[in-house]
Amino acid sequence: MLLQTLISVQALNDALEQENTVILDCRFYLVDHKKGRYEYEKGHVPKAIFVDVHHELAGKETELTGRHPLPEQEDFADQLQRWGIDQHSRVIVYDDMGGAIAARAWWMLSQQGIETYVLNGGINAWQQQGFPISMDNVIPERSFYRYQVSFPWQITEQKIVENFELDSFVLVDARAKDRYQGENETIDPVAGHIPGAVNRPFSDNLIETGEFKTKEDLLREWNDVASSGEPLVHYCGSGITSCHNVLAMNYAGLSASKVYVGSWSQWAKRMLKAANITS
């Protein structure tokens, strides 16, 4: 089943006055968690609600998880209510990184059955085309509807381990090539990639403007990645930008949904633990 994927800035502008439209500003910066709120306050799409990615799209990191584990299901059900999302909502998410961050929200909401789109080109495209910017701090009215949240599209660390024997899927690493090759690791304590994984940087889904490549180009490129015919499971550093590859595949017309949320940041902890045991 293919998912809803992208929406244009013109279509978003047309949807602004529709009562069921919910807009989420997902700007996030790994080295400065306060910057997202700062950028939101400087100006955002009208009606947009600020999303604290680190706390509202992720749970608390532990010694056993990656850097951005999924939140507890009941916590995320509460969060959906706080954003005013109900069974009639049409949600549009955006960032300023070509959808690299917003795709995480898209992936989490889509598996709840919520109609969700990523703004193609993000707020950069919105501003470049001259659409209005607001500085209002939007506080939504809490929804009465409560979703029964689940995350059926997540792949656990145990499934990754089992796949070394079962060989039932191919892992796709969404990080930049140098990090995949272990040449420039400045975030996680161990460099490299999960054995057997192939590399498809999420940035390869985009053109220079930060908008997505054409469906035709993405279909051709992703068919090359999926040439073995086995299902793909996506991962990255902490389970955020991997969702961008899921988004790109669906936009190209290819079914995809599975993400190893723990990603390299969890796998690196596993490697460190193993090294300590054997040393």
- All residue ranges of the chain with pLDDT < 70 are 1, 275-279
Report how far residue 167's alpha carbon sits from residue 82's, in angstroms, rounded to the nearest whole number.
41
Q: Catalytic one among 24, 49, 108, 236?
A: 236
Q: What is the pLDDT of residue 278?
A: 53
243 is catalytic: no
Show the domains of the chain with their CATH numbers: 6-128 (3.40.250.10), 154-278 (3.40.250.10)
Tell me, what's the pLDDT at 279? 46
Residue range 193-214, pLDDT digits in tens: 999 999 999 999 999 999 999 9
Identity at 193, one-letter amino acid code: H
What digits encode the pLDDT tens for the residues 29-42?
A: 988 999 999 999 99
Tokens of 241: 């930008």
